[in-house]
Amino acid sequence: MSLERTAIPWNEITAEAVRHLQALICIPTVNPPGNEKPAAEYLAEVLSAEGYDPEVLESAPGRGNVIARYRGSGEAPPLLLLSHLDVVPVEPEKWEHDPFGGEVVDGHVWGRGALDMKFATAMQLMAMLLLARQRLPLKRDVIFAATADEEAGGRYGIGYLIDHHLEKIRAGYALTEFGGFPISLGGKRIYLCQVAEKGICWVRMRARGTPGHGSVPHRDNAVVKLAEAVAKLGRTALPFHRTDAVAGMVEGMAAALGGVRGAVLRGVLNPALSGFILRRVIRDPQLVNYFHALLHNTVSPTVLRAGSKTNVIPSEAEAELDGRILPGQDLD
């Protein structure tokens, strides 16, 4: 039996998935501190109502993970549907809509986690609900796991489950977030399949100087040194690197576009032409930044820290840098 052979009201299913996504967005799970347990309990309640026996596993106070299993025959290894419930911090005053309101505006759901990654949690939840409703006979179990703490490394989420409850999530395959965002290019919608990922190189940069009173400026100011270093970093273009994964992606996109547009797009793989094509031909800021990041190692200053009083020149100033490394590159 398959979903295709059974009458399913897909419009109603879509609306139901959206409602679950809205409900999840309305449960703040900003990490730190996380506090994913209420979201895990919401999912457990929904799954229980459909006949599942979900478990909410608390890795630390407030840090909830929820697991449920659809039983197959066991002829094939299980499939794990894996998502995370925590989200990164947000500046609400900079949003057009409440980041924890889950509003639907112009056909889009707004909120922190709408993309990363409560949308996938809602999709995977609906898959589990449909399996139960259709009572599909499968050769494998399907495991649902919505976890804590992914945004901070996973210690209280998937790491905790692996260390303490491995048999509950052990699977032959796993489906998790993203896999490639669809993008619009040259009037066409192109769907991507992720085959590689940049590595992380987080760096702390520290400047030291002579402390003193703010009323008596001097040239050995740690804050000024750090500011100059951060500004220089922001102006510096890191070298172009062509990788097999990105080359394959661009070639596929160029083939989809065809003609002159496809030929021009292939030019972004040429270090002598890439910058010109991005700035003068593609021009869309989001696409320019997107392709630039695919073709370069990157670094973004994200946190600045210095001093504790307005009238005191500190002896140290510190910046945190988010470095991302292309496949095939190393920390050196």
* Distance, CA of 274 to CA of 174 (rounded, Å): 36
Helix (H) or strand (E) holding 123: helix 118-134
In angstroms, the Cα distances linking 169 to 32, 69, 135, 146, 178 are 25, 9, 21, 11, 20
Single out the residue of 192, 170, 189 nearest to residue 181, CA to CA.
192
- To the nearest 10 degrees (0 to 180), the angle between helices 118-134 and 10-25 is 140
Q: From CA 213, how far away is CA 221, in angstroms rounded? A: 11
Catalytic residues: 86, 150
Amino acid at 184: S
Dist. CA 152–CA 85, nearest whole Å: 12
Say how far apart CA 279 and CA 262 lie, in whole Å. Answer: 17
Residue 193: per-residue pLDDT: 86
Query: pLDDT by residue for the chain (332 residues), tens digit each?
Result: 455 546 889 999 999 999 999 999 999 999 999 999 999 999 999 999 999 999 999 999 999 999 999 999 999 999 999 999 999 999 999 999 999 999 999 999 999 999 999 999 999 999 999 999 999 999 999 999 999 999 999 999 999 999 999 999 999 999 998 677 788 888 899 998 888 889 999 999 999 999 999 999 999 999 999 999 999 999 998 999 999 999 999 999 999 999 999 999 999 999 999 999 999 999 999 999 999 999 999 999 999 999 999 999 999 999 999 999 999 988 87
Give dist(CA 45, CA 43) in Å, integer: 5
User: Token digits for 214?
Assistant: 């703010």
Query: How confident is the model at residue 3, as a pLDDT?
Result: 53
pLDDT of 134 reads 94
Closest CA to 127 of 183, 161, 83: 83
Residue with tokens 């320019």: 288
E strand residue ranges, 92-231: 104-105, 108-109, 142-147, 173-175, 183-185, 188-190, 199-208, 212-213
Q: The tokens of 67 are what?
A: 């697991």
Evaluate whether 203 touches 331 at the Cβ level (below 8 Å). no
Structural domains in the chain? 3-175 (3.40.630.10), 185-325 (3.30.70.360)
How far is residue 25's CA from residue 249's CA, in Å, rounded to a whole number?
A: 32
Residues whose CB is less than 8 angstroms from the CB of residue 47 and which lie 6 or more positions away in sequence, other chains included: 54, 66, 68, 125, 128, 129, 144
Measured distance CA(248)–CA(244) in Å, rounded = 6
193: Cβ contacts below 8 Å, ≥ 6 apart:
179, 180
Which class for 26: exposed (0-12), middle (13-18), buried (19 or more C-beta within 10 A)? Answer: middle
For 214-248, give the DSSP string: TTS--S--HHHHHHHHHHHHHHPPPPB---HHHHH
